Amino acid sequence: MKFEQIKIKIKNFVEQELYTLEPWILNSEWNEKLPKLNELREKVKSIGLWLPQIPKKYGGLGLTNAEHGEICEILGSSPYGLYVFNCQAPDAGNMEILIEFGTKEQQNKYLGPLLNGDIRSCFAMTEPNHAGSNPVRMGTFAKKEKGNYLINGHKWFTSSFDGAEFAIVMLITDPENENIHKRASQVIVPLETDGVEFVRNIQIMGHAGGGWESHAEIKFNNVIVPQSNVLGGDGDGFSIAQKRLGPGRIHHCMRWMGICERSFDLMCKRAVSRELADGQTLADKQTIQNWIAESRAEINAARLLIKDAAHKIDTQGAYKTRNEISIIKFYAANVMQNVVDRAIQVHGALGITDDTILAAYYRHERASRIYDGADEVHKSRLARQILKTYKSI
């Protein structure tokens, strides 16, 4: 199937199968909507669109980062698009880690069921007492004892922990290593292991969530797993995280473009249909026209920046594309915030109700300027890299 055909089929599926469900699905508990979502997942499998981001040898469509970015824009317009196609965070990133760094045993036990959609996973890195944007400093430690890791620590914002089969945990295994980037490892922890403590699902903007939609606080209390559960090698945690985050940010940013396009469409439709007391419509007002023009320009600019970064990752690798990744991370997140906010304003009181998708976007996506590196961190890192070239002149 050609890529353009894949895009058309996915777009039709999202609009016909997901948009119509949103009024119910957005206001239902996870366990209520899960059977319907699983039914849709089976339908995606049956029409050959499962796992767009995964190589063909593992049962996916084998799309490049640039191509999958375009798919993420289509899927991202619905809150459950990526989940239904099994390319949702954190599972998608964990699949990629297991494909590149997992042993045959790890792949058989965890990757196969994950690719098939039989289980879910989570990724535990962020901690309440350490800066989330600085993974070289963490308070979760794994002590080596008799071929095992003895793990103790405290994590939160472990997204999708609720109902997951296993976690990939970023933790310190070599605290004395002079190279701070070699102190951490990533270790697979089955969540039924003794000592894994679920504290709570953190309430986000009034929504506690459950299942895949959850953001959990957890603790590891003398958790024992074999050292064979390490991914890559001991001390490879930081380098694996960097390889995971680059492509992941591409896909997040293109998902945001899907949100932008749908919000923009709703804004324009509302502008031309909403009549005012003087007989005009909102579309006749210059302020509204300015918002529409600015939104169109910002979306177009953001998309081109993201596509440029995706192409460079595919051709040069994630390490050489760090500046481009920082640019799109803070720029695209702010464009999305602007467009959604304008769309809500044009809708007036309707915009803050759950009668449209806009309120859900506003609640769920404010975090985009924080996770995967806060705006300020990316801006500071980018500026330092730029200024290095001037200091050497």
> Is residue 265 predicted with pLDDT exceeding 70?
yes
Task: For residue range 271-304, list pLDDT tens digits in order.
Answer: 999 999 899 999 999 999 999 999 999 999 999 9
Let me know if 133 is exposed, middle or buried by CB neighbors in 10 A (0-12, 13-18, 19+). Answer: middle
**Contact indicator for 120, 88 with CB cutoff of 8 Å:** no
Cα(379)–Cα(373) distance, integer angstroms: 10
Cα distances (Å, whole numbers) of residue 316 to 72, 304, 310, 341: 21, 18, 10, 36
> Is residue 243 predicted with pLDDT exceeding 90?
no
At residue 372 the predicted structure's pLDDT band, cuts being 50, 70 and 90, is confident
Task: For residue range 68-127, list pLDDT tens digits in order.
Answer: 999 999 999 999 999 999 999 999 999 999 999 999 999 999 999 999 999 999 999 999
pLDDT at residue number 27: 83
- DSSP annotation of 202 reads P
pLDDT at residue number 134: 67
Indicate the residue type of 55: P
Task: For residue range 147-200, list pLDDT tens digits in order.
Answer: 999 999 999 999 999 999 999 999 999 999 999 999 999 999 999 999 999 999
> Per-residue pLDDT averaged across 222-247, rounded?
92
> Per-residue pLDDT averaged across 246-274, rounded?
94
In the numeric block, which tokens belong to residue 218?
A: 């957890």
Cα distances (Å, whole numbers) of residue 329 to 174, 256, 322, 357, 366: 31, 10, 11, 23, 13
- Percent of the chain at pLDDT > 70 equals 99
pLDDT at residue number 110: 98
pLDDT at residue number 319: 81
Cα(236)–Cα(173) distance, integer angstroms: 10
Q: Which domains does the chain have, with CATH numbers?
A: 3-102 (1.10.540.10), 121-230 (2.40.110.10), 238-391 (1.20.140.10)
pTM here is: 0.92
pLDDT at residue number 393: 66
What is the average pLDDT value for the chain, to the nearest integer?
Answer: 94
> Is residue 246 predicted with pLDDT exceeding 80?
no
- Percent of the chain at pLDDT > 90 equals 86
